[in-house]
Amino acid sequence: MVAVKMDPEQDEVNWEGERRTQEVGYAVLPRFAEYAPDSKQRKLSWRERQREFAAMRRTAKVAQVENAIRRPIEQATWSVDPNGAPKDIVDLISNDLRLPIKGEDGQTPRFTGKVSFQDHIESSLESVFTGVAFFEQVYEEIDGLYRLRKLAFRPNLTIKEIKVKDDGGLEGIVQYSTNGRPEVFIPVERLLVYRNGPADGSWQGKSILTAARDDWLEMVKLKELHSVVLQRNSLGIAKYEASEKTPLDQRVAEIKAGLAMAQSYAAGKNSGFALPAGAKMPVEGVQGTLPNLLEAIEWYGNQIAIAAHATHLNLTGSGGSYALANVLLGEHMQGVNSTSEKISATASHHLVEDMVRLSFPNYEGTLPLIVSTRIQIQKDLSPGDISQLAAQKVLTLEPNLENWVRSIFRIPKVRPLSEALKAKKDRVDLEEQMGVKLAASEPEETQSADQSLRDVINAIETNARYRKVKEDTEDIMSHFDDTGGGANE
């Protein structure tokens, strides 16, 4: 071991500066190890652990938990926040990642780039379930700028070693040789890494499935046992009892023949058997009570959801509190938002910074951010809700609101003024030609956008008042029936 020597005769100022600019400690424990101990005190290699995670994710309960985490993040709206950066830098990030710019309403996402960040989100979420996800950044030079061409996913099963520096920083990854190619070392400068769990010196991350591993193992064993129990006990087992009338010297031969007949016994259209006098072959079922394996399987499955902060998935139709369900779902949403924010922070700090540094090496200002909308429980608006918001001036009467209301309730769009006038003129010409008029007075076919929206809101308010009166009437009638028709005692 080499010790760091301090020279007392060295100038105090110089020594203080050297001491603060050089790192003398280390953070290499735990390093990446080929074998990592698990909760059963059995060493699993990196590849074995990754294969086990893949097997866990093929289980119904784990797949349900994974979808509960994935879907909200994948369906969130992702965009580029300019964050005060110049327009050319913001446009480069937006174009290359096919993301809209935050604040530009009605903008169609740009599809000029070759990388879809929305597709990248699906792959980056692998880090949640495997501990870490590595991506190689590949660029191409176009018009003097380095444009992102690919974010190539490097699956964990292809990684032989994660190299870590003495200070705990990532040095790179080594991939196994394949198809005649030698091992490949990818330096950290070319990598984008998503790591789940607390940061340590191993860079292996921590899968959310780690805490559920023991419960998953027990659940798998019980499911296999349950299948065996059903096969052995659901139909009963044939048992041959030799006849007491059979001579002793022939008893063994009879038992062998009876065993063969019992083993070949099966129900069918022409099935049957014949027995010597006094012999029996009953089909016996289980005597006593078997343990309830289904309850045990369900319990271990529920533990998996608890370990992944998805306790709301354990709620069934057997009853319970809606308030409790909302609390559990809220806790799950907090975890989902935390995961989304980690992805956003990693992509903004590493991916965006690399993209800007390569194409604009002299730029020193603020950088754009990759952000997503906050994930929360969606509440569908009713016509009454919209009318109340409009009456309280929370929503202003404008064409955008009218179009939104029409799209939500599938109301046909308002015809353009030119189209409405042309239709009216064609109608008048046809009536003059045929000598027949459909109505003595024609309704006004054109009106302002504000008047159209007011008509929609008035209709919504009328429907809302009608439903309120109907509900109150039903409550009164229900109370009237419960009190025996209102008769005095």
Q: Check residue 366 and report its DSSP letter.
A: -
Report which secondary-structure segment, H or E, holds 237: strand 237-238
pLDDT digits (tens, 9 = 90+) for 418-432: 777 788 888 888 888
Place of tokens 């590949």: 138
Q: Which region among 9-18, 43-52, 154-163, 175-184 has the lowest average model confidence (pLDDT)?
A: 9-18
Strand-pair category, 159-164 with 35-37: unpaired
The predicted pLDDT at position 487 comes to: 44
Average pLDDT over residues 69-91: 92
Instruction: Write phi, then psi, for 62 (nearest 5 degrees).
Output: -65, -40
- Buried/exposed 135-168: b ≥16 CB within 10 Å, e otherwise: bbbebeeeeeebbbbebebbebebbebbbbeeeb
pLDDT-derived band at 442, boundaries 50, 70, 90: very low
| pTM of the shown model | 0.68
Beta strands, E only, 77-203:
78-81, 132-142, 145-154, 159-164, 170-175, 184-187, 191-195
By C-alpha distance, which of 407, 406, 410 is closest to 457?
406
Question: Which of left, alpha, beta for 162 (phi over 0: left; psi -120 to 50: alpha)?
Answer: beta
Nearest 10 degrees: Cα torsion 271, 277, 279, 285: 50
Rounded CA-CA distance 327/331 in Å is: 6
pLDDT digits (tens, 9 = 90+) for 317-376: 665 666 777 788 888 899 999 999 999 999 999 999 999 999 999 999 999 999 998 887
The predicted pLDDT at position 18 comes to: 52
Examine the pLDDT at 486 and tell me if it is beyond 50: no
Examine the pLDDT at 395 and tell me if it is beyond 80: no
Q: Which region among 39-53, 205-219, 402-416, 436-450 has the lowest average model confidence (pLDDT)?
A: 436-450
More confident residue, 7 or 458: 458
Instruction: Write phi, then psi, for 299 (nearest 5 degrees).
Output: -65, -45
By C-alpha distance, which of 129, 87, 116, 114 is closest to 366?
87
Q: Check residue 101 and report its DSSP letter.
A: B
Residue 212, number of CB atoms within 10 A of its CB: 23
pLDDT digits (tens, 9 = 90+) for 104-141: 755 555 557 789 999 999 999 999 999 999 999 999 99
Place of tokens 């918001």: 389
Domain boundaries, the chain: 29-207+335-372, 237-284, 383-482
Rounded CA-CA distance 63/54 in Å is: 10
What rounded mean pLDDT belongs to the chain?
80
The predicted pLDDT at position 488 comes to: 41
**DSSP 3-state assignment of 395?**
coil
The predicted pLDDT at position 483 comes to: 57
- Buried/exposed 41-67: b ≥16 CB within 10 Å, e otherwise: eeebebeebbebbeebeebebbeebbe
